[in-house]
Amino acid sequence: MLIKKSVLYCLSLIGHAVFTVITAAGVSSTFWWLINGKALFGLSTALIMTWVGIGGIMLFFAIFKNRIREGGER
């Protein structure tokens, strides 16, 4: 299956954008929970969102960087 480099690049950018939004939401809500000091559940959820976002960004970077370098074939 041959996929053009531009399509892979666009998918990579979309994936990065989605996980960047998740990371930003996680970080901002982490600070909100730390400032207000309300509930531990909210803080743990925010931290999980942050780490899922960072992990997703790294995953997309690793997958699409290799595929783009290989010429889009797989």
Collapsed DSSP state (helix, strand, coil) of residue 40: helix
How high is the pLDDT of residue 49? 78
Reported pTM: 0.55
CB 8 within 8 A of CB 67: yes
How high is the pLDDT of residue 68? 61
Separation CA 50–CA 52 (nearest Å): 6
How high is the pLDDT of residue 42? 67
Separation CA 30–CA 27 (nearest Å): 5
One-letter amino acid at 73 equals: E
pLDDT in tens, the chain (74 residues): 456 667 767 777 787 788 888 778 877 777 777 777 666 666 677 777 777 877 777 777 777 677 666 655 54
